[in-house]
């Protein structure tokens, strides 16, 4: 019988609902939404699938200790009680990540040190020796989360953050996080079967994620290792079965277009698309956005334009007004979604929004607006359709 346990999936602010839907499709149960995280119940199969298939998750954690702590001593005691020697051996290594928001514990480094001491002392007491810490490539990555006096200690089944898909070999200034780009696409309502354009593609993250989604290529298809692969209970047959079950599409019968005005951005996009193995599915064009046009009649455009460090406010306002004009004239019938950290410039787009969300690009608060660019009224569009 499959053993079920609790897991926590971490994500970006604003993507919790999308991730909940992704987890539901892979069979997760009892999904509860939190801020930038979800908890759910599932088996090893659910855990492997969550790592391999969910596009908006950053990490999948497996809680092993939950306790109330108000002092370093209490933390030490609770951690030392756990049978760590059953999880990894003296020859293997561990690392500790901490997130602390508590009136009782002010410094996350101090918390990490206490947890490390407790684990090391447990090994010394039980086996006479201690295992080593390896921050970069540990056998077991341990996540410590303390919120006020509630402490959760988990095993990190992902290892490296899941947004690192492995295709980004070239970068331009301010590339989007891959999981955020995937979340923006899933939030846009794109049908995965009609034209898709990013007219300011930078290093190509949005069109690459769109290609992966449309072809049903798992976000983890290039990744060679996950944290859970080093665990004692790793089931390689189950892992292989999960990978074999995915049905990837061979080709698309619509266009995905990545364009940018910059030579450097186009070169980075081409390199990344190549390492993502999507060269035959994505069209790359060096173009200014106002030269970009679609005759497809409908489709989806998603982009994150520059938002200002280098542009003066007046120029920025003018730039966003022009984006609005191009959308109106050149993309009739499209849904367009724009992510920007410049709230005032977003108002200059001058089109009616059909959806407004707040997302975070790293620590930067952004607005994500959707515009439905119907020809005439909504009703008329549907009649023509
Ligand atoms: C914030 S970056 C996009 C980052 C991208 N989403 C990524 O993940 O790498 C904005 C991009 O817009 C491009 N850009 C700025 N003005 C443009 C214009 N008028 N037409 C086309 N591209 C433009 C810049 O060259 C830059 O690559």
Query: Is 174 touching ligand 1 by the criterion CB < 6 Å?
Result: yes
Query: Is 207 touching ligand 1 by the criterion CB < 6 Å?
Result: no
pLDDT score at 128: 97
pLDDT score at 380: 41
Question: Quick one: angle between helices 178-188 and 16-25, nearest 10?
Answer: 80
Query: Is 318 touching ligand 1 by the criterion CB < 6 Å?
Result: no
Q: Is the pLDDT of residue 170 over 90?
A: no
pTM given for the model? 0.94
**Alpha helices (runs of H) in the chain, residue ranges in sequence order:** 16-25, 44-53, 72-81, 108-127, 178-188, 205-214, 236-245, 263-275, 313-330, 343-347, 378-384
Could you give the percent of the chain with pLDDT greater than 70? 96
Q: Is the pLDDT of residue 245 over 50?
A: yes
Residue 11 CA to ligand 1 centre (angstroms): 25
Q: Distance between CA atoms of 215 and 290, rounded to whole angstroms?
A: 29
Mutational pocket test of ligand 1: of 200, 266, 287, 331, the residue with most ligand atoms within 8 Å of the beta carbon: 200
Best CA proximity match to 201, nearest among 294, 279, 289, 290: 289
Specify the residue with its C-alpha closest to ligand 1, atom 1: 306
Query: Is 260 touching ligand 1 by the criterion CB < 6 Å?
Result: yes
Chain segment 195-212, per-residue pLDDT in tens: 999 999 999 999 999 999
pLDDT score at 310: 61
Q: What's the whole-number mean pLDDT along residues 73-88?
A: 97
Chain segment 117-157, per-residue pLDDT in tens: 999 999 999 999 999 999 999 999 999 999 999 999 999 99
Q: Distance between CA atoms of 52 and 43, rounded to whole angstroms?
A: 14
Specify the residue with its C-alpha closest to ligand 1, atom 2: 202
Chain segment 96-112, per-residue pLDDT in tens: 999 999 999 999 999 99
Q: Distance between CA atoms of 294 and 300, rounded to whole angstroms?
A: 10
Q: Is the pLDDT of residue 382 over 50?
A: no
Best CA proximity match to 239, nearest among 249, 253, 259, 224: 224
Chain segment 23-37, per-residue pLDDT in tens: 999 999 999 999 999
Q: How far is CA 280 from the centre of its chain?
A: 25
Of 59-73, 166-180, 339-353, which has the strongest mean pLDDT? 59-73
Mutational pocket test of ligand 1: of 199, 207, 211, 261, the residue with most ligand atoms within 8 Å of the beta carbon: 261
pLDDT score at 374: 83
Query: Is 200 touching ligand 1 by the criterion CB < 6 Å?
Result: yes
Chain segment 45-67, per-residue pLDDT in tens: 999 999 999 999 999 999 999 99
pLDDT score at 376: 53
Q: Is residue 165 a contact partner of residue 223, using CB atoms and an 8 Å limit?
A: yes
Residue 282 CA to ligand 1 centre (angstroms): 17
Mutational pocket test of ligand 1: of 165, 203, 265, 271, the residue with most ligand atoms within 8 Å of the beta carbon: 265
Q: Which domains does the chain have, with CATH numbers?
A: 5-156 (3.30.2130.30), 178-217+251-384 (3.40.50.150)
């Amino acid at each position: 019988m499959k053993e079920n346990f609790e897991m926590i999936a971490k994500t970006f602010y604003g993507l919790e609902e999308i991730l909940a839907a992704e987890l539901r499709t892979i069979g997760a149960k009892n999904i509860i939404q939190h801020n930038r995280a979800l908890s759910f119940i599932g088996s090893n199969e659910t855990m492997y699938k969550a790592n391999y298939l969910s596009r908006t998750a950053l990490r999948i954690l497996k809680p092993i200790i939950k306790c109330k702590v108000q002092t370093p001593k209490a933390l030490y005691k609770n951690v030392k009680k756990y049978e760590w020697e059953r999880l990894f051996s003296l020859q293997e290594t561990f690392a500790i990540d901490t997130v602390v928001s508590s009136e009782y514990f002010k410094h996350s480094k101090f918390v990490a040190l206490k947890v490390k001491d407790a684990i090391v002392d447990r090994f010394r007491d039980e086996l006479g020796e201690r295992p080593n810490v390896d921050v970069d490539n540990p056998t077991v990555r341990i996540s410590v989360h303390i919120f006020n006096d509630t402490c959760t200690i988990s095993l990190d089944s992902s290892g490296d953050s899941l947004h690192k898909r492995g295709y980004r070999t070239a970068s331009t200034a301010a590339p989007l996080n891959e999981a955020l780009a995937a979340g923006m696409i899933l939030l846009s309502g794109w049908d995965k079967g009609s034209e898709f354009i990013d007219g300011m593609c930078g290093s190509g993250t949005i069109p690459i994620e769109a290609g992966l989604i449309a072809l049903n290529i798992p976000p983890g298809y290039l990744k060679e290792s996950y944290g859970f692969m080093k665990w004692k209970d790793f089931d390689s047959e189950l892992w292989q079965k999960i990978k074999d079950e995915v049905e990837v599409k061979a080709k698309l019968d619509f266009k995905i277009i990545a364009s940018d005005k910059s030579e450097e951005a186009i070169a980075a996009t081409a390199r990344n698309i190549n390492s993502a193995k999507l060269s035959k599915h994505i069209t790359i064009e060096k173009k200014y956005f106002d030269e970009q046009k679609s005759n497809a009649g409908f489709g989806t455009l998603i982009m994150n334009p520059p938002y200002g460090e280098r542009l003066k406010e007046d120029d920025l306002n003018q730039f966003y007004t022009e984006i609005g004009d191009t959308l109106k004239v050149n993309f009739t019938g499209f849904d367009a979604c724009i992510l920007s950290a410049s709230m005032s410039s977003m108002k200059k787009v001058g089109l009616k929004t059909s959806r407004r969300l707040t997302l975070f690009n790293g620590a930067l608060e952004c607005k994500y607006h959707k515009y439905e660019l119907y020809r005439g009224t909504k009703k008329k569009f549907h009649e023509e359709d």
